[in-house]
Amino acid sequence: MGPAVRLPLCGLILAAPLAALAWCEPPRQLETVAADDFRAGLARWRLEAEDERAVVTAKDGVLDIATPAGLSLWWRQPLGGDYAIRFTAVALPAPASAGEHAGRLSDLNMFWNALEADGSGPHPRSGKFTGYDTLPTYYAGFGANANTTTRLRLYDGRERRMLAGFADGAIAEPGELPMNPQTRLHAGQPLAIEIVSRRPSAADPVHLRWLANGHALFTRADPQPRLHGHFALRTTASRLQIRDFQILQCR
């Protein structure tokens, strides 16, 4: 696997207001087709944890993730069509088991529209981040690298391609914008996440929207978009709480 590379920022829109991003227009409507209220365990998810000390629970309306190392939590149901994923996330200090990373805020990350190169669903992996380098997918890392980067990537099965991002100071790659309050995690503060995946059209070529608290941090209008596959929450050396997980279809 070669180093991550960067794609041009074609089709990128940053921090557009939610009102400008209507994508499910009448007569179609958004309908909730699946959800998890986190009151009945993890039956709808598949856990891949690099460290056996990771603790993941789903009860009393909260998915609680506390992990000292890499962890992915895959929604078992594949997604396709024009859909949105919505949930609320809260970042808390990483657990003591994270060692030198204990207490940090970091890594509200996710994969989506992930499929193996042969079109099958993602096969089980160890939870180590580099193990996913061969998995074609989109990836967003919000507040990653100890809350110093927020980036959108495309994995094509051979390399991890930077599409767009925000980063602090010396770690910024060419073309990245500076981090700002909208692109950082804030301890204990709820963050509403929405991912939109839709078929592009001549009138609206944007197929990907990634929003945080109503602000579209990333949008894409790529010539060969990924439009279906699997979703996973991803993190490392962190503690996250997730609530109100929903999948909506535009029908």
In whole angstroms, what is the distance from residue 2 CA to residue 19 CA? 40
Whether 180 is in a domain gets the answer yes
- Give the domain extent around 242: 5-246
Q: What pLDDT shows up at residue 25?
A: 87
In whole angstroms, what is the distance from residue 116 CA to residue 56 CA? 26
Whether 61 is in a domain gets the answer yes
Whether 207 is in a domain gets the answer yes
Whether 137 is in a domain gets the answer yes
Whether 218 is in a domain gets the answer yes
Q: What pLDDT shows up at residue 5?
A: 41
Whether 175 is in a domain gets the answer yes
Q: What pLDDT shows up at residue 4?
A: 44
Whether 251 is in a domain gets the answer no
Q: What pLDDT shows up at residue 2?
A: 42
Both tokens of 107, joined, read: 């890594």
Cite the beta strand spans of the chain per DSSP E: 5-6, 16-17, 30-36, 45-49, 55-59, 62-75, 83-92, 108-114, 137-143, 149-155, 160-167, 177-178, 191-197, 208-212, 215-220, 230-250
Spell out the per-residue pLDDT of the chain, length 251, in tens. Answer: 443 444 333 334 333 333 335 789 889 999 999 999 999 999 999 999 999 999 999 999 999 999 999 999 999 999 999 999 999 999 999 999 999 999 999 999 999 999 999 999 999 999 999 999 999 999 999 999 999 999 999 999 999 999 999 999 989 999 999 999 999 999 999 999 999 999 999 989 999 999 999 999 999 999 999 999 999 999 999 999 999 999 999 99
Whether 110 is in a domain gets the answer yes
Q: What is the DSSP letter of 229?
A: B
CATH number of the domain encompassing residue 236: 2.60.120.200
Domain count of the fold of the chain: 1
